[in-house]
Structure 1
Amino acid sequence: MTSWIDVVNYVRLRHEVLEERDDWLRFRLDTGDGRTQQVSVHHLPDVDGVAWLDISSAVGRAEEIDLRRLLELAGASTIGGAAVVDGLALLKHTVPLEDLSVREEFERPLTLLVAGADAFERELTSGDHY
């Protein structure tokens, strides 16, 4: 069985951790071409006895991007959905923590989500702020 601590340790070994709390982790990934992408992982409270991980990566400030275009891009994406939280437009994905294979069921969605968020950020802002 995989625990939140297993996920935290996995991230610490592989990525630059920017901020960490009891149930939340923010870190940076290199996406190539000198670009980086920040990611947050939240350990969500148990729902029906199952804990979840919410993986999110910022695309841009909501008031500065075309949100309709973000929804179109997210709708065509293999993984993740669009959301706005605290004024930030995000690409998000949620996975159950129980029996999670950190390599396959966390790293793979993480990699796909970050690539998508970075591509959306590039298209919608022409920058690399997140």
Structure 2
Amino acid sequence: MTTWSEVINYVRVRYEVLEETDDWLRFRLDTAADRTQQVSLHHVPDGDGVAWVEISSPVGRADAVDAARLLELAGTTLVGAAAVVDGVALLKHTVPLEDLSVQEEFERPLRLVVAHADAFEHELTAADDF
């Protein structure tokens, strides 16, 4: 069984951690063309007590992003759903923590969410704010 602590330790070893609490972690990854992208992980228990890890990466400020275009772009991705949280448009994907293969079921979706969020940020805002 994979634990939240194992996921956090995996991230600490590989990425630049910017902020951390007991159930939340924000870090930065390098992406294409000298761009970077922030990503957050949230430890989320569901009603049945099963733990999940939510991977989210910002696309831009919600009031500055064409929401219809973001939804169209999000519809082309293998992982990730468009959402707005605290005024920030983002892509997010959730994986069950129990029996999680960190390499296949965490790292691959993480990389895909981040790559798409960065590409969408570039297209929708022409910036690299996140």
The interval holding the TM-score normalised by the smaller chain is over 0.9
Q: Equivalent residues in 2 for 1:30-69 (5 A)?
A: 30-69=30-69
1:127 is paired with a residue whose SS is coil
CA distance in 1, matches of 2:4, 2:103: 14
After TM superposition, what 4+ stretches of structure 1 lie above 3 angstroms from structure 2?
none
Matches within 5 A, 1:1-130: 1-130=1-130
Shift, 1:50, TM fit:
1.1
- Alpha-carbon shift at residue 10 of structure 1 (Å): 0.1
Q: Distance in 2 between matches of 1:5 and 1:49?
A: 17
Report the secondary structure of 2:31's partner residue.
Answer: strand
Q: List alignment gaps of at least 5 residues for structure 1.
A: none
TM-score (norm 2): 0.98
- 3-state SS, counterpart of residue 127 of structure 2: coil
Q: Distance in 2 between matches of 1:65 and 1:50?
A: 34
Q: CA deviation at 1:71?
A: 0.4
Identity %: 72
Provide the C-alpha distance between the structure 1 equivalents of 2:32 and 2:116, rounded to a whole number of angstroms.
13
| Cα RMSD for the two superposed structures | 0.7
Shift of 1:47: 3.1
CA distance in 2, matches of 1:128, 1:96: 30
Structure 1 letter corresponding to 2:85: V
